[in-house]
Structure 1
Amino acid sequence: MTHTLRTLFGLDDDTPVTGLTADSRQVTEGMVFAALPGTAMDGRDFIPQAIEQGAVAILSVTGTVADVPVIADSSPRLVYSQLAAKLFPGQPKTLVAMTGTNGKSSTVDFLRQIWAYAGLNAACFGTLGVTSSAGYKPMTHTTPDALALHKTLSELAAEGVTHAAMEASSHGLKQYRMDAVKITASGFSNLTQDHFDYHPTMEDYFRAKARLFIDLTPLDAPVVINTNDKYGQHLVEVCQGLGQDVLQVGWTGADIRIDEVMPHAAGQKLTLVIKGQRHKVDLPLAGEFQVLNAVAALGLAMKTGVNKNKAVEALNHLKGVAGRLELAGTKDGAPVYVDFAHTEDGLDKLLRSVRPHTMGDIVIVFGCGGDRDPDKRAKMGAVAAKLADQVIVTDDNPRTEDAATIRKAVLKGCPDATEIGDRALAISEGIRRLGSRDCLVIAGKGHEQGQIVGDKVIPFSDVEVAREWLS
């Protein structure tokens, strides 16, 4: 379908529109440029450049003036999302959105695996990229820009995908990136301290997450909520107050309850109580947090039409996702895991998860990112000191901050730790220390393929570096 300024905005103007972008560098002849005010820069500063490159109209905030037609709105990001949906119509019939601080990537991938096990054409996307029966494609954001989001959904629908699960970040929800998406079910994992560089308070962070349920999920759509923390419990009350169909899961889940977990070397044996019936599962994944992710995926699968017994059966065949307690290899039988845990709560769950599988010492290598919430650094150090036996503090993504200053802040929480700034050398030292009954955890970067130093991204993969030292 050919779009014009008339068909898209109702203007008395039949100028053809070839596309939309919020990046002035990508403007070509016939495009609409969304000049959106942001935290780091203001898109309005780039309007002259966009017009010079061929922009036929500008989408921006009320009061914006330009030499081409201006579509002005008090919520231009919302209009941008609605426009993206018009330019890239179509999405898989079933679309699940998953939010929370930790566990989103694993949950949406586990849900994709359960759907596929049940014979459905399924996909998932978020931090780890897009995974479907057609293969894998990388992505740049947990919740992509609205245009990239609708383009992805449109492409998946064209591939024949009927069931898709996506991650919904607080940034994406607060910036209206998902507002024109048709959601058929939603999930919530947990809420812990993160992104305080963006959210001023925990209440603001919770409100951003809750938008998914209050504003974006239809009242007749099911929601699956992990009730393990006070935010999940509060969200249950909110959703039930709206009259939504709420399925509660977790250790305290009223509908799917984790009754027993027995760790063993290759995974863990579970007893789940589903609607009063007991079910045995041999989950081939280490880590208690993976049990929580698995039951959330189970609940969402059941609520999107998968037979309960088939969905439970699928849990026995789940595969872990990249950078989430990913086994990089072993040294004399001692496992080396790579994990994305980059918050106090994430690190706590990670270390508690590997403890039941470890007879000897837990060795941890980790750091904290620069230009991000500085308050969590000493807290993460304290968690490492409390739950690991040997701690090595190194660099994560220092970005524009001084790496040594970040390490110093982390070391306040774990003063007896070893400090090795070079991440590759820190990983090497962690591996050198391993005895046959020990376990090494390399935390913070997970699936990432680069280390951000200043404004440069240096190629770096924890998994690959660990495998090189192990070999």
Structure 2
Amino acid sequence: MTPTDAGSAPRPPGNRPQASALTLADLADLLGAPAAGEATTAISGVTLASAEVRAGDLYAALPGARTHGARFASDAAARGAAAVLTDPTGLETARVTGLPVCVVDDPRAVLGEVADRVYGAPSRQLTVIGITGTNGKTTTAYLVEAGLAAAGLGTGLIGTVQTRTRSRAADGSSTLTAFPSVRTTPEAPALHALLATMAGSGVSTVVMEVSSHALVLGRVGGVRFAAAGFTNLGRDHLDFHGDLEDYFRAKAMLFDGRSGRELVTVDDDAGRRLAGLRPDAGTVSIEGRPTGWPRVWPPPPTAAPRSP
């Protein structure tokens, strides 16, 4: 993670709420017990880009492919960071800042829950619909969001092309705000801050694309999904996943029980396999396959007719 990674905070600048400050003691179950004298350190935001730190932020110094975020902890401290979250490898470098340093074995694994708590559990205030799959995520997300907006709801859209809100005022008027997306699914601190901003601006339902990278890297950690949808699985991102089996397992993570309802397209082998793993999921097909909600896929075998 570089100090100016634009994926760490939503755009445009300023679209990140300063939450009511928690303390390190309030986050101890996620970050470990703070050292003596550090329990009352106030945390009012979270980021993993040092160049975007605001006063009171917890700076997440994560290991990266080319460098470690702890290298930029001093820059984060100069910008007003209140504490640092890192792994054992980054501990000694982060200590130079003089800030409280929280150390966990896998910071990414807890970062979503931390951001969710700091920003007031925004996905509990919203109906969040996640859509994953190789092809069709963007189109499906736009169609679903447009339908919800047509029904008079305040909506949010988070995806590959853009992030946008259609907030609803008390008089029924709608305001559309949009800006280009940095990546399909934002990093966890950015995502929870964005959801909090949406929840505070007249949005009730958010439709978001959920990439396989996001699932593996914990970007949607802490998000409560009301519903999840699967489109299909093709040959893509194998440079990251290695093979199709790993890619499938990454997509299937959205259907590990974190979503209230699940809907699976069963027009390819991966969809039928996923539906078989999730017998309570609804199914949909454009090829005339059996569908319903809930149903078991594949159906139980039919007994062979007896000879007369």
Say yes or no: TM over 0.5: yes
More strand by share: 1
Rounded to whole Å, the distance in 1 between the matches of 2:288 and 2:63 is: 43
Given residue 190 of structure 2, which amino acid in structure 1 is its aligned partner?
A
Given residue 110 of structure 1, which amino acid in structure 2 is its aligned partner?
L
Given residue 85 of structure 2, which amino acid in structure 1 is its aligned partner?
L
The alignment partner of 1:159 has SS state of coil
Given residue 119 of structure 1, which amino acid in structure 2 is its aligned partner?
G
Rounded to whole Å, the distance in 2 between the matches of 1:28 and 1:161 is: 25
Q: Is the 8 A contact 2:61 2:69 kept in 1?
A: yes
Match of 2:238 among 196, 200, 204: 196
Rounded to whole Å, the distance in 2 between the matches of 1:82 and 1:122 is: 23
1:56 match: 82
Match of 2:267 among 228, 234, 244: 228
Q: What count of residue pairs does the alignment treat as equivalent?
A: 252
Q: How does 1:10-89 map to 2 (within 5 A)?
A: 11=34, 12-62=38-88, 64-65=91-92, 66=95, 67-89=98-120
2:303 match: none
Q: How does 1:339-358 map to 2 (within 5 A)?
A: none
Q: How does 1:20-419 map to 2 (within 5 A)?
A: 20-62=46-88, 64-65=91-92, 66=95, 67-89=98-120, 90-91=122-123, 92-133=125-166, 134-135=175-176, 136-214=178-256, 216-217=258-259, 221-240=260-279, 244-255=280-291
Q: Is the 8 A contact 1:93 1:163 kept in 2?
A: yes
Q: Is the 8 A contact 2:21 2:118 kept in 1?
A: no
**Deviation of 1:187 (Å):** 0.3
Given residue 60 of structure 2, which amino acid in structure 1 is its aligned partner?
A
Q: Is the 8 A contact 2:266 2:289 kept in 1?
A: yes
Deviation >4 Å, runs of 4+: none
Structure 1 residues 28 and 163, CA gap change in structure 2 (3 angstroms): closer
Q: Is the 8 A contact 1:210 1:235 kept in 2?
A: yes
**Deviation of 1:233 (Å):** 0.8
Q: Does 1:2 align with 2:38?
A: no
Q: Is the 8 A contact 2:161 2:181 kept in 1?
A: yes
With 195-204 and 224-233 compared, the bigger mean Cα shift is at 195-204
**Deviation of 1:28 (Å):** 4.2
Structure 1 residues 43 and 94, CA gap change in structure 2 (3 angstroms): same
The alignment partner of 2:278 has SS state of helix
Structure 1 residues 26 and 116, CA gap change in structure 2 (3 angstroms): closer
Structure 1 residues 53 and 112, CA gap change in structure 2 (3 angstroms): closer
Q: Is the 8 A contact 2:47 2:59 kept in 1?
A: yes
Rounded to whole Å, the distance in 1 between the matches of 2:210 and 2:115 is: 17
The alignment partner of 2:238 has SS state of coil
**Deviation of 1:252 (Å):** 4.3
Once the two structures are superposed, residues 234-253 of structure 1 have per-residue CA deviations (whole angstroms, 9 ceiling, x without a partner) of: 1001111xxx3323333144
The alignment partner of 1:38 has SS state of coil
The alignment partner of 1:131 has SS state of strand
Once the two structures are superposed, residues 27-51 of structure 1 have per-residue CA deviations (whole angstroms, 9 ceiling, x without a partner) of: 3443221111122432123234333
Once the two structures are superposed, residues 402-445 of structure 1 have per-residue CA deviations (whole angstroms, 9 ceiling, x without a partner) of: xxxxxxxxxxxxxxxxxxxxxxxxxxxxxxxxxxxxxxxxxxxx
Once the two structures are superposed, residues 209-237 of structure 1 have per-residue CA deviations (whole angstroms, 9 ceiling, x without a partner) of: 111101532xxx22111111111111001
**Deviation of 1:123 (Å):** 2.6
Q: Identity of counterpart residues, as a percentage?
A: 33
Higher relative contact order (CA 8 A, sep 6+): 2
Given residue 261 of structure 2, which amino acid in structure 1 is its aligned partner?
P
Given residue 160 of structure 2, which amino acid in structure 1 is its aligned partner?
T
Rounded to whole Å, the distance in 2 between the matches of 1:121 and 1:47 is: 39
Q: Is the 8 A contact 1:130 1:138 kept in 2?
A: yes
* Larger Cα-atom Rg: 1
**Deviation of 1:98 (Å):** 0.2
Q: Which runs of 5+ in 1 are unaligned?
A: 257-273, 276-471
Structure 1 residues 33 and 109, CA gap change in structure 2 (3 angstroms): same
Structure 1 residues 25 and 122, CA gap change in structure 2 (3 angstroms): closer
CA RMSD of aligned residues (A): 2.3
The alignment partner of 2:285 has SS state of strand
Structure 1 residues 155 and 55, CA gap change in structure 2 (3 angstroms): closer
Q: Which runs of 5+ in 2 are unaligned?
A: 1-19, 167-174, 295-308
What TM-score, normalized to structure 1?
Answer: 0.50
Structure 1 residues 137 and 254, CA gap change in structure 2 (3 angstroms): same
